[in-house]
Amino acid sequence: MCAAAASVMMTAAVANAEPTLELMIQEAAGLLHHSCESLAEVTGNDEEAIISVVEKMVAVSLINREIDILDHATTEEEKEMLRTAFIVELKEGCEADRKALLAGIVDSAVKDVLGL
């Protein structure tokens, strides 16, 4: 799970969502019960599958908080800094409690990285 977290990108835009974002939210609804540990188990530690789930959870977090990521980062360099900080927060959250709900860890990482 931690190796996969290193590849996660915080790229979702917010609200008034395009169809792909709305689909991500619908798909995330069926995944919110997973912990870091259970997601790793059900995906067989498939990095792409884990990244896909985390991206959906990030989208939900951003929409729930009515955040437009472009308000926090407009350049690729700024976005990369956010991604790097997010990865650190996600890894620390999962390492601290592998049985904690991943959606909560993702939401806390989003909040902390964006200084909310």
In this structure, is residue 116 part of a structural domain? no
The tally of domains found in the chain comes to 1
Gap between the Cα atoms of 4 and 26, Å rounded: 22
In this structure, is residue 115 part of a structural domain? no
Range of the domain at 60: 2-9+17-110
Sign of CA dihedral 95, 13, 48, 6: negative
Q: What is the pTM for the complete model shown? A: 0.78
In this structure, is residue 70 part of a structural domain? yes
pLDDT in tens, 54-105: 988 888 898 888 888 888 888 889 989 999 999 999 999 999 999 999 999 9
